[in-house]
Structure 1
Amino acid sequence: MSDFLNVNEIKEKVSLLTLLGNLGFMPQKVSGNEHFFLSMLREEYTASLCVNEKLGVWFDHGGAGVSGIKSGSVIDFGLAYWYPATFHEVLHKIVEHANVAIDNSRDFKGQVPLRNHTSREASYEINLVSELIAHNGLKSYLLSRGVDKVAAGFLYQIDYMVLDNKNKQRDFSASGWPNENGGWEVRNKYFKGCLGHKGMSYFPGSAYKLAVFEGCYDFLSWKIENRNDPASVLVLNSLSFLSSAIARAKQFACSEIYFDNDKAGIAGAKAFTTEVSGSIDCSFKYDAFKDYNEKIVFSIKSSKIALDKPVSLNLGNGLER
């Protein structure tokens, strides 16, 4: 059984005030639903970190600490407070210190409709979620997509069983990442789909800059060339979430859009740059390719060909000394 925790359930069940109290922090001032704390994310002498208990959000009026995060949900607070812990580690720290019961089996057991796996009705059961991708086929797949060196912390190995309408069981393994609706977006060499509810995936970072992608492999491809970029990242997982992504992007001063160079992606990028102030269509960075990942795969193959090519030595007139 995996110890994966449901992001939405944590947001619903964990009170930020309770978490702060359990960590030893008490408000200096209370005004209605707003509780003001001396910021525990940096040194200060005037309480400027505000928690709105009714809305379940916080904002540090004095600025961000070392993490670059200065507002958001209880999870965003955890990412700022326990920086640079991974997203997975932060979820567990929140649950531990908030002392709440989170059902970590709900997303893995039970018969649930499987989207896009077969044209006939099917159900699935997740048997294993592992941070370590050990399956040889999956490791080869990540290598072929050029993202094997940046997958840790973002991609998981998902082992699951599919039961078709003839009650026949088939076992699968895929690389996967969680979305905000408790589902898993999964990929392997032969299959692309979703286990559970479809949704966007968000990786918090800078409160000022957002990088937006259609798929996770394009995000990881970007990560290869931008390892130190502090931007928050939003992966749509489907362009059907374009309106929601545009609304989210409006919270940031700057948004970089990395959509596919196809009809749908171009239209989506145009909608972004039209509706979101400070947004930039960055598809020019891979304009000779369909998407960011295709560029990375081509670059790796080109480098390999160059390394494998025999070196011819120029020996001048060929005369021996």
Structure 2
Amino acid sequence: MNCEEANKMDMVDYLRKLGHSPAKIRGNDYWYLSPLRKERTASFKINRKLNVWFDHGTGEGGTLVDFGTRYHATDVSGFLRSMETSEFLPQKQNCLDTESEVSNRLKIVSSRKLKSPVLKAYLEGRGINTSIARIYCGEVEYTFGKEIFRGVGFKNDLGGYEIRSAFYKYSSAPKSLSTFCRNSDTVKIFEGFMDFLSYLTVEDKSPVLDDIIVLNGTGQFEKSKPFLERYETIELYLDNDPTGKKLTHNALKSSPKFVDCSRLYRPYNDLNEWLMLKGFSRKSKQALKL
């Protein structure tokens, strides 16, 4: 990837995936609390038509590459090299590697308690309580090719990891569910661990009393079925996208045990997007009926 290709990527979508949502939108202008510094009044603007940014607090501005090098404290070549394997690439370029190929090429080097200020800031940008995240996630160091990276790691039942950072969204082999059993009659099923952490953040306590299954992808739903037989109530917190809706619809048809909880965060796509865009408050907690 070169600068011209990177600068064609939509900056609003890029910031959304970094965990930053606009405070207000006026026509083509999207206003944010500056991702580059602390402030209380939104003064960081993206003109979506021109796809450029300007921080009124510092007088700086430019393209996506200009922003990326400042945000991630790297040079242009380092930023572009990272973008070549990041989740922000256009979908047609992502198809060069299947998920299983990426998983097999990625190697976990080490795992430790979550301490990195950068990774904590990433979670905070997505609305996650980092004290809760540290209970369920670690900080993993992994290799992809010759490069070494760090990310937030969420372990599954077979020892593989779901890995997230501002740049990357990866899975390490073996792919599986993550289950947390409390011997409850109710189980809550989340599509991904960010939704699970969002739920805990809003509930503001950990651990929860109900049993939990994190699918780590809708493709894992079939694997969850052996766990579900003993439960009286099965609450589904899946995405409000076509795949999530279809899975929920089929589950509701198959058994009266299933409860569709995605209605609680509509019209947002998922629970984490709801938390990021709506913001946590007592009213929003009541709206989610936790």
| Distance of 2:101 and 2:253 partners within structure 1 | 38
Could you say which residue in structure 2 is the equivalent of 1:157?
A: 139
Query: Residue 132 of structure 2 aligns to a residue in which SS?
Result: coil
| Distance of 1:210 and 1:220 partners within structure 2 | 16
1:178/1:184 contact within 8 Å kept:
yes
Could you say which residue in structure 2 is the equivalent of 1:251?
A: 230
One of 269, 274, 277 as aligned partner of 2:248: 269
Could you say which residue in structure 2 is the equivalent of 1:186?
A: 163
One of 108, 118, 143 as aligned partner of 1:126: 108
Q: CA RMSD in A?
A: 2.5
Higher helix fraction (1 or 2): 2
| Distance of 2:189 and 2:155 partners within structure 1 | 16
Query: Residue 193 of structure 1 aligns to a residue in which SS?
Result: strand
Which deviates more from structure 2 when the two are superposed, residues 268-277 or residues 291-300? 268-277
What is the CA distance between 1:279 and its match in structure 2?
Answer: 1.5
| Distance of 2:121 and 2:177 partners within structure 1 | 26
Where does structure 1 lack aligned partners over 5 or more consecutive residues? Answer: 1-113, 164-168, 304-321
1:128/1:159 contact within 8 Å kept:
yes
Aligned runs of 1:6-17 on 2, under 5 Å? Answer: none
What is the CA distance between 1:178 and its match in structure 2?
Answer: 1.2
| Distance of 1:126 and 1:247 partners within structure 2 | 29
1:203/1:233 contact within 8 Å kept:
yes
Could you say which residue in structure 2 is the equivalent of 1:237?
A: 216
Aligned runs of 1:156-305 on 2, under 5 Å? Answer: 156-163=138-145, 169-226=146-203, 227=205, 229-300=208-279
1:159/1:172 contact within 8 Å kept:
yes
TM-score (norm: length of structure 2): 0.58
After superposition, what is the alpha-carbon deviation per residue over 1:207-235, rounded to whole angstroms, capped at 9, x for unaligned? 31100010000011111233374111001
After superposition, what is the alpha-carbon deviation per residue over 1:11-43, rounded to whole angstroms, capped at 9, x for unaligned? xxxxxxxxxxxxxxxxxxxxxxxxxxxxxxxxx
Could you say which residue in structure 2 is the equivalent of 1:138?
A: 119
| Distance of 1:225 and 1:130 partners within structure 2 | 26
2:236/2:258 contact within 8 Å kept:
yes
When residues 117 and 162 of structure 1 are mapped into structure 2, their CA distance, relative to the original with a 3 A threshold, is farther
Which protein has the larger Cα radius of gyration, Structure 1 or Structure 2?
1
User: What amino acid sits opposite 2:108 in the alignment?
Assistant: I
What is the CA distance between 1:174 and its match in structure 2?
Answer: 0.7
1:246/1:276 contact within 8 Å kept:
no
| Distance of 2:258 and 2:225 partners within structure 1 | 10
| Distance of 1:262 and 1:286 partners within structure 2 | 12
What is the CA distance between 1:134 and its match in structure 2?
Answer: 1.7
Query: Residue 223 of structure 1 aligns to a residue in which SS?
Result: helix
Could you say which residue in structure 2 is the equivalent of 1:36?
A: none
Query: Residue 136 of structure 2 aligns to a residue in which SS?
Result: coil
What is the CA distance between 1:115 and its match in structure 2?
Answer: 6.9
Instruction: State the aligned residue count.
Output: 183
| Distance of 1:192 and 1:138 partners within structure 2 | 13
What is the CA distance between 1:118 and its match in structure 2?
Answer: 7.8
Q: What is the percent sequence identity of the aligned residues? A: 24
| Distance of 1:155 and 1:233 partners within structure 2 | 15
What is the CA distance between 1:171 and its match in structure 2?
Answer: 1.0
1:115/1:194 contact within 8 Å kept:
no
1:115/1:193 contact within 8 Å kept:
no
TM-score (norm: length of structure 1): 0.52
What is the CA distance between 1:285 and its match in structure 2?
Answer: 0.9
Where does structure 2 lack aligned partners over 5 or more consecutive residues? Answer: 1-96, 283-290
What is the CA distance between 1:139 and its match in structure 2?
Answer: 1.1
What is the CA distance between 1:117 and its match in structure 2?
Answer: 9.2
What is the CA distance between 1:291 and its match in structure 2?
Answer: 0.3
After superposition, what is the alpha-carbon deviation per residue over 1:73-103, rounded to whole angstroms, capped at 9, x for unaligned? xxxxxxxxxxxxxxxxxxxxxxxxxxxxxxx
After superposition, what is the alpha-carbon deviation per residue over 1:148-194, rounded to whole angstroms, capped at 9, x for unaligned? 2420211110011222xxxxx21101101111222111111111121
